[in-house]
A and B are shown apart, each in its own frame.
Chain A
Amino acid sequence: MKNKRIQSLLVVLIALGLIVAGCGGAGGDKKPAAADNKAPIKIGFFAPVTGPAAADGDSVTKAAKLAVEKINKDGGINGRKVELVAYDDNLKPQEAVSIAQKLTTKDGVVAAVSGSYSHTTRAAAPIFENAKIPMIAAYALHPDITKGGDYVFRQSFVGTAQGKAGGYVAVDMLKAKTIAILNVDNDFGTTLADSFTQYVESKGAKVVSRDKFTMVEKEFNPVLTKIKQLKPDLIYMPTYSGTGAQIARQAKELNLGIQMLGTEGIDSTMEFLKVSGPTADGIIITTNLNRNSKLKATQDFIKDYTAMAGHAPDMVAASTYDCFMVLAESMRKNGAEPDKIKDGIYKIKDFEAATGLIKGYNKLGEVTKNVQVQVIKNGAFTYYGEISDPAIITPPDK
Chain B
Amino acid sequence: MYEQVVAINVGLAMLLAMSLNIITGFAGQPTLGHAAFYGIGAYTSALLTAKAGWPFFLALPAAGAMAALVGVLLGLFSVRVREDFLAVTTIGINFVVVAIFQYVQLFGASLGLAVPKPEFLGVRFGNTEILGLLILLNALVYLFMRHLPNSWLGLALGGVRNDEEAAASLGYNADHYKVFAFTIGTFIAGMTGSVYAHFMGFISSTDFAFPVSIGVLSMAVLGGLGSVTGPLIGALILTLAPEVFRFVSDYRMLVYGGLLVLMMRFQPQGLVGDDSYLQRLWTKIRGRREEGKANAG
Q: Which A residues have a C-beta under 8 Å from some C-beta of B?
A: 2-7, 10-11, 14-15, 17-19, 21-22, 24-26, 28-29, 49-50, 86-88, 90, 92-95, 97-98, 101-102, 105-106, 119, 122-123, 126, 142-144, 185-187, 189-191
Contact = CB atoms under 8 A, between A and B. Distances in A.
A105 B2 CA distance: 6
B229 interface: yes
A123 B7 contact: no
Contacts of B232: 10-11, 14
Given A21-B7, A105-B1, A2 B249 contact: no
A190 B246 CA distance: 33
SS class, residues of chain B in contact with chain A = helix
A49 B10 CA distance: 23
A187 B242 CA distance: 28
**Pairs of residues from A and B, 6 with the lowest C-beta to C-beta distance, nearest first:** A25-B1, A25-B3, A101-B2, A21-B7, A186-B110, A101-B5
A126 B199 CA distance: 12
A18 B10 contact: yes
Contact of B202 (A49, A123, A189): A123
Interface string B1-33: 111111101110010000000000000000000
A98 B6 contact: yes
Contacts of B250: 49-50, 88
14 contacts: A7-B229, A10-B272, A11-B232, A22-B131, A25-B4, A87-B249, A98-B6, A98-B9, A122-B202, A123-B200, A144-B114, A185-B103, A186-B102, A187-B110
B112 A97 contact: no
Nearest to A95: B242
Contacts of B4: 21-22, 25, 101
A101 B1 contact: yes
A68 to B, nearest CB: 16
A144 B110 CA distance: 13
B162 to A, nearest CB: 18
Interface of B: 1-7, 9-11, 14, 102-103, 109-112, 114, 128, 131, 135, 138-139, 142, 146, 200-204, 206-207, 227-229, 232-233, 236, 242-243, 246, 249-250, 252-253, 272, 279, 282-283, 286
A19 B249 contact: no
Contact of A25 (B2, B14, B227): B2
Given A19-B135, A26-B1, A119-B206, A6 B279 contact: yes
A95 B2 CA distance: 11
Contacts of B11: 18
Contacts of B2: 25, 98, 101-102, 105-106
Contacts of A22: 3-4, 7, 128, 131
Contacts of A92: 207
A234 to B, nearest CB: 24
Given A22-B131, A190-B109, 10 more contacts: A2-B283, A5-B286, A10-B272, A11-B229, A28-B3, A50-B253, A98-B6, A144-B111, A185-B102, A187-B111
B242 to A, nearest CB: 7
Contact of A14 (B1, B103, B233, B253): B233
A119 B228 contact: no
B200 A94 contact: yes
Listed residue (A21, A87, A144) with the most chain B CB atoms within 10 angstroms of its CB: A21
Contact of A88 (B112, B131, B249, B283): B249
Contacts of A119: 112, 202, 204, 206-207
Contact of B252 (A2, A88, A123, A144): A88
A187 B112 contact: yes
B279 A21 contact: no
A142 to B, nearest CB: 7
B135 A185 contact: no
Contacts of A49: 249-250
Contacts of A88: 246, 249-250, 252
Contact of B111 (A6, A106, A142): A142
Contacts of A95: 242
B236 A14 contact: yes
A2 B287 CA distance: 10
A4 B20 CA distance: 21
A185 B111 CA distance: 10
Contacts of A123: 200-202
A5 B250 CA distance: 40
Nearest to B248: A88
Nearest to B103: A185
A259 to B, nearest CB: 27
A206 B233 CA distance: 59
Contacts of A144: 111, 114
B114 A98 contact: no
Given A22-B131, A90-B242, A123-B201, A6 B110 contact: no
Contact of A93 (B3, B131, B207, B236): B207
